[in-house]
Amino acid sequence: MNGKLGERVVRKDAFDKATGKAQYVADIRAKDMHYGIVVRSPHHAAKILKIESDSALAVDGVVAVLTSEDIPGEITYGALIQDQPALAHKVVRHIGEPVAVVVAKTKRAAQKAKTLIEVTYEPLPSIQDPVEALEEGAPKVQSGGNLITEYHICDGNLETGFAEADVIIEDKFRVQRISPGYLEPESSLAEYKEDGSLKVWVSSQEPFEDQHTIARVLGIDIEKVHVKSAVIGGAFGGKEDPELQVLAALCAWKCNANVQMVNTRYESFVGHPKRHPAQFQYRVGVQRKSGKIVALEATAYVDTGAYASYGPAVAGILTETMAGAYHIPNVKVDTYVALTNSPLSGAMRGFGAPQSHFAIESLIDVIADKIGMDPLMVREKNILKPGNKLFTKVPLDETALALPICIEKSKEARERLSGIQAPPGKIAGVGMALAMQSMGLGAKIIDTSSHRLEWLPDGRVRIYLGAPDLGQGLATAAEQMAAEALEMPYESIETVFVDTNLTPNGGVTCASRMTYMTGNAVIRAAEKMKKDLLDDAARLLDVDIQSLEYRDGEVLKNDGTRIAVGEITSRLAEEGKAIIEESSFTFPYPEEKTPDHLPIGMPHVMFVFAANVARVEVDLDLGTVEVTHLSTVNDVGKVINRLGVEGQIEGGAATGLGYALYEDVALKDNGQWVDSFTEYLLATTKDMPEIESTVLEIPEASGPFGVKGVGEIVLVPTAPAIANAVFNATGVRVNQLPISPEAILEGIALKKY
Amino acid sequence: MQKLSITLTLNGENVTVDCVANQTLLDVLRDELGLTGVKDACGGEGECGACTVIMNGKAVNSCMVFAGQADGAEIETIEGLAKGNDLHILQKAFMETGAIQCGFCTPGAIMSAKALLDHNPDPSEGEIKEALSGNLCRCTGYKKMIAAVQLAARGGKADER
């Protein structure tokens, strides 16, 4: 039977995607469809003095120009803090902020009208650095202070810890702003219905939240807002923010029209959230002989841009992972999240962990160099073990056994890769990094995921999947798990994608936990389905229920006869009945694992682990780095679709490599952000190394079939592994991402003199 | 803006379409002819390869071709590859190897691969990487895409080397 757990399974939507039939939002055509185009701020900060739209409105086909004055409900929204205006109100706070939307009957009319809208601004002083933003006298981004969140966590006694150390190391690290970089730009189509309701097509990680946000901004009941997921062209965290669906809904509502909105890539760069840039200062105390890290003090400054988005939550995981996967007895970490006049920073794959891991995993190699110990040995001596507590006081369970295996496999990979000679003119180096990534939204945040199963008259089963498949293959995993739970072939399961009118609320697809959540809910629903089936079968066959059992996807009578499920469900259909069961699963935060001294959203209590070993070749004349090999170890709990897991690992490697070497939404000398794929370099076929993957399957007790998660961890160790490999090759430590040829050449030059 | 009428041999059929002079081939295919398998991911800047079609035997970014330049040309898009449910070998290979995740870059990548195999049925790994180097993908890390092209080049048979 195809589709068994752990096999390489071909996803069912692959046919439509391979033939061009798959309908993403921008491919859907509504009747008499209008087009909305956003006018965005060209300033980092400015007062809006006047918006002149008469000449735009005079263009043939233009229906409306909407500004914040046209918003019927709340102007602002936000996942954690409602501070982000749907359209800028009196001021703009970053380049790319939406100021107005023009709605027209044709794309060309909308494009022409956009150029005729005259906005008069009075530029204001602005700030782009999170450390400077917190200094006294810095320009205020919003009306309050620029500090929007701070976290301070202590464990042990720092003074005692440093007193026990004989080596003290201080270092600074800096990571850049990067784009989720999904290929499908943000897009939405809002259809205005004659009954005064809206149907909004989205490319979103959380359609049920979108429904609330749209209702909030329009000031209408959520029952009037029907949100439906189209095929989604990648998300990676970036599609947790609802900017475009809110604006499309506003346009449709105000114009009584069907309105499509699609961002250009420029708009996606400046208008939509990115990975948070951060700056770290570390001070660690180490015992030279034992290699034990006995004290760690670290401060992080996190830049969340002009509005909060998911900044406070991202900074939470960033804070929790600042000591990496290590057991350090004395820890003090302080994190400050600052507003700046920059494009928003929000959720992105890894959610704070990639930032911290670049710092701590680089630092481990710095320690190793300083005390003359093998970097893998330093890791081995300090890793978390089952029963250890993190500095958040969260105890680790048996799943931490993945860490020593990660180190062991990395040793083997290092051995192998170190034997490969570099070509003339280049020097080779090998480096590794460990990683841990939490699963789940965090304690004290409601995290329940509901999904529904229905037995169809022909005996097939339909999943009403309550959470979006972002392209990673959630539906395939759900179908495989439903098939396993119901002892049916994978081919007999189909999926209805998330739709606020049709499916239960499965929550937001994020935090490496959607397969875990969905699987648990589906298994529970399947158990109820089987019981319902036997009840109905007993009634319809007029036999005692004790004489029936469910086996191998059929009903088995105690006289040995087998009855196909379709025989029962088709008779139920004739009665106008069906077997339908909905089930929910709530992410567990067991009391003993959830100390309550931490702020909301903390701590996280379930973890996945990984290691990367990178081999690089550095060109000594150009300073360029080529990653030739990447050996990965990932503990995923249990593989459901092996093709899917491999796809996450390989795709994660590409994003991790881009983070390490190429990607940077930098502020250029001309005052503009890097805002196109010409300057913002995603890894291409030619940049990719040989990838070898080891997948560990250490089962999670609470997981469906032992499943944990794989979506984010895959890229967390990549950038520090590459940085450590560059150091191994050149002796140059680059503490800032992306690792630039200039930094390497400068480092080499400094070493020579 | 000057209006014009262009004639294409589109997926084997003659098509005449009215457009305006500054429309690109991408605009015409998506907006005028409804071929939405041709994707736009970079805003028509020629940066991402999602709108790749085959024009007179060569893979091109259709956003970099003015409609007028395509007049009289033979154009192949993703929509023309399968005959009903009978998929092109590249489509099957992309599906089977797991080269498709979100799928947004898939049509462009398959068309780049087809242009390669049409001219070079037995390409080296380097030649495949070169042919697909203009097709950005954020999901797959390209490894399975390259494997898909190799699988198709072997006629869909497993690698026995």
From the CA of B117, how many Å to the nearest CA of chain A? 17
From the CA of B121, how many Å to the nearest CA of chain A? 19
Structural domains in chain B, CATH included, are 3-80 (3.10.20.30), 89-153 (1.10.150.120)
Backbone Cα Rg of chain B = 16
CATH code (residue A650): 3.30.365.10
| Domain boundary residue, one of A586, A620, A655 | A586
Residues of A in contact with B79 (CB under 8 A): 19-20
C-alpha dist (Å) from residue A528 to A246, A434, A485, A581: 38, 41, 11, 7
User: Nearest Cβ partner of A17 from B48, B79, B103?
Assistant: B103
| Domain boundary residue, one of A230, A262, A294 | A262
pLDDT tens sequence across A482-519: 999 999 999 999 999 999 999 999 999 999 999 999 99
Please name the residues in contact with A319: beta carbons below 8 A apart, sequence gap of 6 or more.
Answer: A151, A153, A300, A333, A335, A352, A356, A602
Phi, psi dihedrals of residue A187, rounded to the nearest 5°? -160, 155
Of A169, A511, A480, residue with least CA distance to A347: A511
pLDDT tens sequence across A113-145: 999 999 999 999 999 999 999 999 999 999 999
pLDDT of B158 reads 79
Counting beta carbons within 10 angstroms of the beta carbon of residue B58, is it exposed (0 to 12), middle (13 to 18) or buried (19 or more)?
exposed
Would residue B57 be called left, alpha or beta, if left means φ above 0 and alpha means ψ between -120 and 50 degrees? left
In this prediction the ipTM stands at 0.98
Please give the DSSP secondary-structure letter assigned to residue B72. Answer: T
Co-location of A386 and A497 in the same domain: no
Co-location of A661 and A746 in the same domain: yes
pLDDT tens sequence across B94-107: 999 999 999 999 99
In chain B, the residue whose alpha carbon lies closest to the alpha carbon of A108 is: B23
Cβ atoms A525, A509 nearer than 8 A = no
Residues of A in contact with B138 (CB under 8 A): 180-183, 234, 236, 651, 654-655, 682
Co-location of A387 and A327 in the same domain: yes
pLDDT tens sequence across A242-265: 999 999 999 999 999 999 999 999
pLDDT of A753 reads 62
Please name the residues in contact with B53: beta carbons below 8 A apart, sequence gap of 6 or more.
Answer: B25, B29, B38, B59, B60, B62, B75, B76, B77, B111
Taking an 8 Å cut-off on Cβ atoms, the answer to whether A685 and B144 are in contact is no
DSSP for A299-346? Answer: EEEEE-TTS-TTHHHHHHHHHHTTTTTB--SEEEEEEEEE--SSS-B-
Q: What is the dihedral of CA A511, A516, A520, A525, to 10 degrees?
A: 80
Co-location of A722 and A691 in the same domain: yes
In chain A, the residue whose alpha carbon lies closest to the alpha carbon of B95 is: A14
Look at chain A and report how many structural domains it folds into.
3
Counting beta carbons within 10 angstroms of the beta carbon of residue A316, is it exposed (0 to 12), middle (13 to 18) or buried (19 or more)?
buried
Co-location of A611 and A566 in the same domain: no
Taking an 8 Å cut-off on Cβ atoms, the answer to whether A677 and B133 are in contact is no
Domain-located, residue A27: no
pLDDT tens sequence across A65-102: 999 999 999 999 999 999 999 999 999 999 999 999 99
Cβ atoms A365, A329 nearer than 8 A = no
Domain-located, residue A617: yes
Per the structure block, which two tokens stand in for A132? 């400077």
Sign of CA dihedral A402, A404, A408, A411: positive
pLDDT tens sequence across A431-458: 999 999 999 999 999 999 999 999 999 9
Predicted TM-score of the model (pTM): 0.98
Please name the residues in contact with A686: beta carbons below 8 A apart, sequence gap of 6 or more.
Answer: B129, B130, B133
d(CA A40, CA A58): 20
Co-location of A529 and A600 in the same domain: no
Residue with tokens 């893998």: A376
What value does the mean pLDDT of chain A take?
97
Residues of A in contact with B105 (CB under 8 A): 183
What integer is the mean pLDDT of A389-412? 97
What value does the mean pLDDT of chain B take?
96
Taking an 8 Å cut-off on Cβ atoms, the answer to whether A20 and B36 are in contact is yes
Percent of chain A clearing pLDDT 90 (strictly above) = 99
Taking an 8 Å cut-off on Cβ atoms, the answer to whether A24 and B104 are in contact is yes
Of A659, A228, A156, A716, residue with least CA distance to A435: A716
Co-location of A705 and A739 in the same domain: yes
Of B26, B39, B33, B28, residue with least CA distance to B4: B28
Maximum separation of any 2 CA atoms in chain A, in Å = 93
Co-location of A575 and A698 in the same domain: no
Domain-located, residue A132: no
Please check the confidence at residue A16 and state whether its pLDDT lies above 70: yes
- Residue range of the domain that includes A667: 278-442+592-752
Domain-located, residue A19: no
What integer is the mean pLDDT of B73-102? 97
Helix axes A243-255, A207-218, angle to 10 degrees: 50
pLDDT of A3 reads 86
Domain-located, residue A323: yes
Domain-located, residue A363: yes
Residues of B in contact with A27 (CB under 8 A): 36
**A1 — pLDDT class (breaks 50, 70, 90):** low
**Peptide bond just before A720 cis, omega within 30 deg:** no
| 3-class secondary-structure state, position B119 | helix
Of A67, A62, A70, residue with least CA distance to A118: A67
pLDDT of B161 reads 56
pLDDT of A517 reads 98
Residues of A in contact with B42 (CB under 8 A): 265, 676-677
**A150 — pLDDT class (breaks 50, 70, 90):** very high
Co-location of A257 and A304 in the same domain: no
Per the structure block, which two tokens stand in for A375? 């970097």
d(CA A683, CA A122): 40
pLDDT of B84 reads 87
What integer is the mean pLDDT of B49-78? 98
| 3-class secondary-structure state, position A495 | strand
Counting beta carbons within 10 angstroms of the beta carbon of residue A578, is it exposed (0 to 12), middle (13 to 18) or buried (19 or more)?
middle
d(CA A403, CA A629): 21
Of A319, A285, A290, residue with least CA distance to A380: A290
Co-location of A356 and A396 in the same domain: yes
From the CA of B4, how many Å to the nearest CA of chain A? 16
Co-location of A541 and A471 in the same domain: yes
Q: Compute the count of residue pairs across chains A and B with CB atoms less than 8 Å apart.
A: 173
| 3-class secondary-structure state, position B23 | coil
Residues of A in contact with B53 (CB under 8 A): none
d(CA A185, CA A271): 11
